């Protein structure tokens, strides 16, 4: 069964050093490194010159990664984090998220989550399972006044059930592994 993936990017394994770290200390250090890396990637503002088109099946086939990375996981994250991609689909949900602190802003000034589906849903905010959705984040850096990606404009697209193309950076957002995985882009996550 395919499930939604929050595949964003993560890269660069930094040596933890210290030799005999306890399992707890190692997990805490890895989480801190992951968190720093994720925050850095979510705050990217560069726009790629081109994007590699992905089909929904290709996106959903991306490797599933755990919440806490091992050395091999970091290598996978590093390979995918550098990839600018585009994905076509239909907006099923548009949700503002109060995570502004990630971007050095007040909590209410966070990102906007877009739930994308390959097939047109019956309506915006459809009832039922969210399987096979891809979640995209529009970071504050790509919201007004910098770009036209306002909550209102995105919600209008969802309500009209317009087909959209989302372009940005892949990003494994490990913080959502237990919730609902997704595509991330720095320009939509």
The span from the CA of 25 to the CA of 13, in Å, is 16
What contacts 181, CB < 8 A, 6 or more positions away? Answer: 3, 4, 5, 6, 7, 64, 135, 173
* pLDDT of 105 strictly over 80: no
For the chain, list the domains and their CATH numbers.
Answer: 23-176 (2.40.50)
Query: Helix, strand or coil for residue 175?
Result: helix
Global pTM value: 0.69
Tokens found for residue 99 = 């995570």
Among 27-31, 122-126, 178-182, the range with the most confident prediction by mean pLDDT is: 122-126
Amino acid 121: pLDDT: 93
Average pLDDT over the chain, rounded to whole? 73
* pLDDT of 135 strictly over 80: yes
Amino acid 178: pLDDT: 54
pLDDT in tens, 45-90: 888 899 999 999 998 888 888 777 888 888 888 888 888 999 999 9
Amino acid 156: pLDDT: 95
Amino acid 163: pLDDT: 95
Query: Helix, strand or coil for residue 157?
Result: helix
* Interior/surface letters 132-145, b for 16+ CB within 10 angstroms, e for the rest: bbbbbbbbbbbbee
The span from the CA of 183 to the CA of 87, in Å, is 9
Residue found under tokens 């006044």: 145
The mean per-residue pLDDT over the stretch 164-179 comes to 76
């Amino acid at each position: 069964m395919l499930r939604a993936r929050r595949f964003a990017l993560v890269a660069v394994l930094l040596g933890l050093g210290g030799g005999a770290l306890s399992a707890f200390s190692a997990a805490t250090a890895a989480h801190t490194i992951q968190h720093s890396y994720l925050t850095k990637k979510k705050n990217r503002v560069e726009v790629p010159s081109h994007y590699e088109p992905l089909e929904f099946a290709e996106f959903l086939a991306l490797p599933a990664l755990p919440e806490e990375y091992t050395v091999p996981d970091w290598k996978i994250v590093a390979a995918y984090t550098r990839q600018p991609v585009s994905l076509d689909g239909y907006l099923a949900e548009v949700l503002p998220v109060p995570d502004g602190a990630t971007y050095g802003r007040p909590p209410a000034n966070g990102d906007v989550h877009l739930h994308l589906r390959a097939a047109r849903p019956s309506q915006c905010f459809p009832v039922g399972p969210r399987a096979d959705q891809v979640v995209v984040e529009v970071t504050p850096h790509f919201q007004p006044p910098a770009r036209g990606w306002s909550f209102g404009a995105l919600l209008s697209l969802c309500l009209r059930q317009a087909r959209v193309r989302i372009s940005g950076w892949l990003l494994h957002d490990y913080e959502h592994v237990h919730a609902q995985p997704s595509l991330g882009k720095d320009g939509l996550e």
